[in-house]
Chain A
Amino acid sequence: MGRCCCRCCCPRGLWMLSAPYYDDRRMCVCPGPRRIGIPVRSSSLPLFSDAMPAPTQLFFPLIRNCELSRIYGTACYCHHKHLCCSSPYVPQSRLRYTPHPAYATFCRPKENWWQYTQGRRYASTPQKFYLTPPQVNSILKANEYSFKVPEFDGKNVSSVLGFDSNQLPANAPIEDRRSAATCLQTRGMLLGVFDGHAGCACSQAVSERLFYYIAVSLLPHETLLEIENAVESGRALLPILQWHKHPNDYFSKEASKLYFNSLRTYWQELIDLNTGESADIDVKEALINAFKRLDNDISLEAQVGDPNSFLNYLVLRVAFSGATACVAHVDGVDLHVANTGDSRAMLGVQEEDGSWSAVTLSNDHNAQNERELERLKLEHPKNEAKSVVKQDRLLGLLMPFRAFGDVKFKWSIDLQKRVIESGPDQLNDNEYTKFIPPNYYTPPYLTAEPEVIYHRLRPQDKFLVLATDGLWETMHRQDVVRIVGEYLTGMHRQQPIAVGGYKVTLGQMHGLLTERRAKMSSVFEDQNAATHLIRHAVGNNEFGTVDHERLSKMLSLPEELARMYRDDITIIVVQFNSHVVGAYQNQE
């Protein structure tokens, strides 16, 4: 269903691929696991594997190359990658630009050991390879981050207790991004997950910039003036955001000036537009404006270009790649979720009987959403009704129906050609960027405008899960909420066993209890709700319990295989302070 065929037919056991099945996949011209599927013309494209960013140390800190190669050799179908993903078409591009300094931690040159000419290789004798539990933990915890809202005078007056976040890469480098920040000039906290496609440039840019646009949109007129005056007179600026970042969450220094100028233009316009009356700022409107404005700026920056060749190339990569965004703004009991694309926000609600239920606070913008299909059809002439969404993808290519960047779906053909021709060589040589989507008649086909859902927090709303589709495609929302809920309440909500009137033997009870304890012990391994959720998402067996063997296999996949079995997963779990929320309620 909109997912790559590899996933749907993925057997549970990793080592059981059979030859016919393998053949099927190779011939498959259906879209691959990536968001953008390019129709395959030839399967014998050269594989510039050495141009691919390598798995990070974070991934496989403990696996030796030879071990990897063994796994790889056992179940290789890496050539499948070019069927579905864009990178083989831009083999040099990734190499030719100087990697961003921060990339250094992510990328290292890949050894050639696994480079091989594609050919038919069949799964040979299954080989067992297991990571030890501490190895598994070090992989799972590499990117975890927790933030607790500081208490003042022993009391936390914020409606947010804190948040846990984590991400597990499947792509190399990971294309997901996450952001969290506290608004300093207004109240409230911003949290967001960003799922990039066709590279990570766009998601990176959005993760750095979007919250500033939102914060600025929320600022009252006087504050904007004050900031502008400070810039003008060279005084110290008021800080707008307090970021809560994991060391791996980097910001690009080179583009900082460029980004600032765009932002400044935005607030200058806001100042000019202001009529003087200090009307209450509508959060919903602010969010929509910020999203649209940022996308607009991304587009403009790419059209204008930059004299600095590195920056010029960067803005183009940002514009030609894409990203979805799911952002939550929490201020007291007011929760706004702005969503563009197919990441999701899920509210964990604890019922009176202690059980957990999930309330969805975002709509996926993809082919599964009737209203989105409807919208697309209305926005384009009737004769395009059949071509605008094909095989559940926008123009048969793109899975999310809304996204940042992706100017290939926004610009006119003329504009695209002009920019590419005047752009740097890397862009010119890139087959993907040059490729114009089929049936491209009435652009734009894509928008970054978010759908904003407002929710007034109640004491029973205990937490919010923001996650990219990597999580939602492996786990049902109900399970997600239950697992997080049980984790946060320390598991004592686990339904107690009562013998009641049933006939239970000591042996049966013992088996049941041992199983429950195994389940519980996985909770105690994690200090982070997001990590715990990833552990379940990756390691859950048929019974909904974490199976270490499975977890170990999934995590020891070489990067090329990883993408076949899972997507990047990024999760933020925001915990609400029921006491504060309750107090708000009582005030009114």
Chain B
Amino acid sequence: MFYRLLSVVQRQRTSQGWQNWSPARSGASTAEAHSVALPAQTQVVICGGGIMGTSVAYHLSKMGWKDIVLLEQGRLAAGSTRFCAGILSTARHLTIEQKMADYSNKLYHQLEQETGIHTGYIRTGSIFLAQNQDRLISLKRVNSRLNVIGIPSEIISLKRVAELHPLLNVHDLVGAMHVPEDAVVSSADVALALASAASQNGVQIYDRTSVVHVMVKKGQVTGVETDKGQIECQYFVNCAGQWAYELGLSNEEPISIPLHACEHFYLLTRPLETPLQSNTPTIVDADGRIYIRNWQGGILSGGFEKTPKPIFTEGKNQLEIQNLQEDWDHFEPLLSSLLRRMPELETLEIMKLVNCPETFTPDMRCIMGESPLVQGYFVLAGMNSAGLSFGGGAGKYLAEWMVHGYPSENVWELDLKRFGALQSSRTFLRHRVMEVMPLLYDLKVPRWDFQTGRQLRTSPLYDRLDAQGARWMEKHGFERPKYFVPPDKDLLALEQSKTFYKPDWFDIVESEVKCCKEAVCVIDMSSFTKFEITSTGDQALEILQYLFSNDLDVPVGHIVHTGMLNEGGGYENDCSIARLNKRSFFMISPTDQQVHCWAWLKKHMPKDSNLLLEDVTWKYTALNLIGPRAVDVLSELSYAPMTSDHFPSLFCKEMSVGYANGIRVMSMTHTGEPGFMLYIPIEYALHVYNEVMSVGQKYGIRNAGYYALRSLRIEKFFAFWGQDLNTLTTPLECGRESRVKLEKGMDFIGRDALLQQKQNGVYKRLTMFILDDHDTDLDLWPWWGEPIYRNGQYVGKTTSSAYSYTMERHVCLGFVHNFSEDTGEEQVVTPDFINRGEYEIDIAGHRFQAKAKLYPVTSLYTHKRRKDDVELSDLHGK
């Protein structure tokens, strides 16, 4: 009924619009006429006529690309777009998502004016309710982040909530956030308006035409096979929504686009006796798992239930999503929640329960970008039921990406390349999205780990470590120990452990950190991405010198920290490279670089059979021996002197450890602490681990996890790619001039940009902040994304934070900008600017004083225990 109703409404509303763009397509012809004659050749083929496809077409055409064909298998805007609840909300957890939603809001606002198509845009504002203090903290955090990017929002009193919405029961609430510029809009009409504008700009739109598969030659898109014939093209954009996964698989060399659909329900009612005002704000009651908006005088209410129903796992394809079965029993918890929130609705008459599948991704973030395997194959899908909010912004970024080669914002968090092919089995996706969908309205707390789809990739030591109390986190499908729970200690259950305050593992990590500082710890770091580049001649060195900013022509056995930069000088990857011999290099990158770095290297390496790139991640188990006694452990195990005279820092040597030969020992720890990384062929992993542990016993060895590592590296101001560094940050912006050799005798990617930056100065600077008046036990902990204020002025956001057990303070890393007070323009940031400022960090609305540092605190390196500080307890094993 809703279906018909909506289409009637649409026809009335959009009749003008359709008339506008129909002739524009091909000169007064119908869709049928079109379908007969597909062009033989074009630059871009976009698959999918929903809000994503039309948005990409709209933005591409605006940016000057005209030769575009948009194919829709059914009718335009007839998929999820049609059934979308039409709520545009900017209150997102990621900054990039906030920016996309903000842009969409502005775009939709003026779309009607631009195209003349009625979009039903009404600025209603939205209210986010908090039923408990934790939720309120979460809202406050979002609130401070929204404010600094210029989206108005405020935390409001319950009295104000009741004023804003007449039907709301506020008695069980503790607070709320009001975002006054949020809007409701008809998503189908927005898509049609975008399509209309695009077609006016020359985009050709064909409906009832489906893509069979994409033709690829030599890793490059060459064309598209449709059910109506072939089209040659250079670019293909997969905006197929829930069918994007299937479409990716249909390629000869499948492209994995990990997303999966779940059924999603919302309720439509008849109008209230006194119909709701059209500008009644939208309500989001995340604790009740529901959203409520006004809809034609009645209400529209849906939610994200705890027990989702995954659908289309087998890849059932439907041209247009037919209205699926209503499942009232499934909706019951949400209905209860709705009636609790608005008790007066009891007597309101039901119109319909709509079932519209939504698409979810394994990490609750959308998927965009170019395929790592096929050049010219772009994807924009997996919107986690925020397609309308992201549509405009995501389309813009993808268009920029295609036209310029990179988007104007850092979108790594949304990049398709963050996934490997490993996280794309149907079973994995089905299980994971069942966790992701409820998570949409769950409390988002620091250090959350997914519970489903785990234990996919593990180190050979997994069982050993697990038996010793390891608690695990997952990165890129790989299990990594967070910390080790001593046998006599109990931690809180998963649900209870959610907190914005001091976590329950605080003491455990403290003892691990202490052990790293005073004795020796071993951390399993096998998840790191490991590549080997070998050549017959000097090709390997040549290509690496071109791709990396540091000088790699070092003596054999040396390790170089270096960045892999893009044309803009930004970090595509931050890694350590060891020169194994004249013609062979061993490269260590962050875990989630496995796909991205590989794609980047492949893209830039000459097709030279003499040059061999190999992913050896799975071949080596990595053990990190951190601490002053690591030297003793290793020399005892190898009968080789390991002191810095014989084994200087940043040095790599193959040697024997225990019975095992061929262990790559490197004198670095990724933390700034003394110690070694051991890269062990996996069959020796257990042996070496056992030897290290048994020999290490007398030196007080113990297992440690990533939380200890993180605390150590952040207090030493070690930035990590993916958290602190991204494609838009250059080495100069984070104090790594020493890792750039501008004059190494040959050009490298990004050199020009860096030269220019060196001349002009940097516009932002990575800075370390030490929180001063912060009470670790009582105050909210910093996480990341907290606004930084300098002399009361917003200057940037933090990127990561940790508690330094050595300084007994919280340390945050973050970028400081210098916005002109008059124009808001970015100005050069000098060390002087950094040093001459009073800083505050805003944690959920509360500002804490902070000291800014441009360089690590040196006293940390010279930590030496004074003789009279020694206690008896130091004699205990750790």
Q: Do A and B bind each other?
A: yes
Given contacts A499-B350, A503-B349, A504-B349, contact A509 B327 (CB under 8 A): no
Q: Are A520 and B352 in contact (CB under 8 A)?
A: no
Q: Is the CB of A507 within 8 A of B326?
A: no
CB-nearest residue of chain B to A511: B346
Instruction: Verify A507–B347 contact, CB threshold 8 A.
Output: yes
Task: Decide: B349 and A507 in contact? CB cutoff 8 A.
Answer: no
Whether B345 contacts A506 by the Cβ 8 Å rule is yes
Q: Report the separation of the CA atoms of residues A507 and B335 in the bound assembly, to the nearest whole angstrom.
A: 9
Task: Let me know if A506 and B326 touch, CB within 8 A.
Answer: no
Quick check: A498 and B346 within 8 Å, CB to CB?
Answer: no
The answer on a CB contact under 8 Å between B269 and A506 is yes
Does B339 count as interface, using CB distance less than 8 angstroms?
Answer: yes
> Chain B residues near A499 (CB, 8 Å)?
326, 350-353
CB pair A509 B328 closer than 8 Å: yes
Do B329 and A510 touch (CB < 8 A)?
Answer: no
The one of B326, B338, B351 in contact with A496, judged by C-beta atoms closer than 8 angstroms, is B326
Q: How far is the CA of A510 from the CA of B340 in the complex (A)?
A: 11
- Within the assembled complex, what's the spacing in Å between the Cα atoms of A510 and B331? 10
Known interface pairs A503-B349, A506-B339; A514-B329 also in contact (CB < 8 Å): no
Decide if A496 touches B345 in the complex (CB within 8 Å). no
Give the residue name and chain of the A residue nearest to B299 (CB). A506
A586 contacts which chain B residues (CB < 8 A)? none
Taking a contact as CB atoms under 8 Å apart, the answer to whether B347 and A513 are in contact is no
Shortest A394–chain B CB gap in Å is 50
* B326–A517 touching, CB < 8 Å: no
Beta-carbon contacts under 8 Å, B345-363 to A: 345-353
Measured in the bound complex, the distance between the Cα atoms of B331 and A509 in whole Å is 11
Nearest Cβ on chain A to B757's Cβ, whole angstroms: 61
Q: Does any Cβ of A come within 8 Å of B775's Cβ? A: no
- Residues in chain B near residue A516, CB distance under 8 A: 329, 332
Q: Tell me whether B536 is interfacial, beta carbon within 8 Å.
A: no
Which of B346, B351, B353 has a CB less than 8 Å from the CB of A507? B346
Bound-state CA distance A517–B335 (Å) is 13
Decide: A520 near B335, CB < 8 A? Known: A505-B347, A506-B269, A506-B348. no
Given A506-B338, A507-B339, the answer on whether A513 and B332 have CB atoms closer than 8 Å is: yes
Q: Does A137 contact B (CB under 8 A)?
A: no
Contact residues in B for A505 (Cβ distance below 8 Å): 346-350
Interchain nearest-CB distance for A459 vs B (Å):
23
Looking at the assembled complex, report how far the CB atom of A68 sits from the nearest CB atom of chain B, in whole angstroms: 40
B133 within 8 A of A: no
B325 in the interface (beta carbon within 8 A): yes
A: number of interface residues (CB 8 Å): 17
Q: Does A497 contact B (CB under 8 A)?
A: yes
- List residues 496-533 of chain A with CB under 8 A from any CB of chain B: 496-499, 503-507, 509-510, 513-514, 516-517, 520
* Cβ contact within 8 Å between B346 and A496: no
- Among B331, B349, B352, chain A packs the most CB atoms within 10 A around the CB of B349
- In the bound complex, residues from chain A placing their C-beta under 8 Å from that of B269 are 506
On chain B, the residues within 8 Å of A56 by CB distance are none
Residues in B with CB closer than 8 Å to A506 are: 267, 269, 335, 338-339, 345-350
B12 within 8 A of A: no
CA distance A509 to B353 in the complex (A): 12
Chain A residue nearest in CB terms to B352: A499
A514 to B336, CA, bound (A): 9
How far, in whole Å, are A506 and B348 apart by their CA atoms in the complex? 6
**Does A74 sit at the interface, judged by CB under 8 A?**
no
User: Residue of A at shortest CB range from B348?
Assistant: A506
Are A496 and B350 also in contact (CB < 8 A) when A506-B335, A506-B345 are?
A: no
B347's nearest neighbour on chain A, judged by CB, is: A505
Closest chain B residue to A499 by CB distance? B350
Which residues of B have CB within 8 Å of A504?
349-350
Most A Cβ at <10 Å: residue of B327, B332, B339 = B332
Report how far A514 CA is from B335 CA in the complex, Å: 10
Interface residues of A in 457-515 (CB under 8 A from B): 494, 496-499, 503-507, 509-510, 513-514
**A507 vs B328: C-alpha distance when bound (angstroms):** 13
The residue of chain B having its C-beta at the shortest distance from the C-beta of A502 within the complex is: B350
How far, in whole Å, are A506 and B335 apart by their CA atoms in the complex? 8
Which residues of the partner chain B approach A513 to less than 8 Å between Cβ atoms?
Answer: 328-329, 331-332, 335
B158 smallest CB distance to A (angstroms): 24
A509 to B328, alpha carbons, bound, how many Å? 9
Known: A507-B339, A510-B336, A510-B339. A498 touches B326 (CB 8 A): yes
- Cα A516 to Cα B353 in complex, Å, equals 18
B128-150 at interface with A (beta carbon < 8 Å)? none
A513 nearest in chain B by CB position: B332
- When the two chains form their complex, are residues A496 and B335 in contact, meaning their CB atoms are under 8 A apart? no
Given contacts A496-B326, A498-B328, A504-B350, 10 further A-B contacts (CB under 8 A): A496-B325, A496-B329, A503-B349, A506-B269, A506-B346, A510-B332, A513-B328, A513-B335, A516-B329, A517-B329
Interfacial residues, chain B to chain A (CB-CB below 8 A):
267, 269, 325-329, 331-332, 335-336, 338-339, 345-353
CB<8 Å pairs between A and B, sample of 16: A496-B325, A496-B327, A496-B328, A496-B329, A498-B326, A499-B351, A499-B352, A505-B346, A505-B347, A505-B350, A506-B338, A509-B350, A510-B336, A513-B328, A514-B336, A516-B332
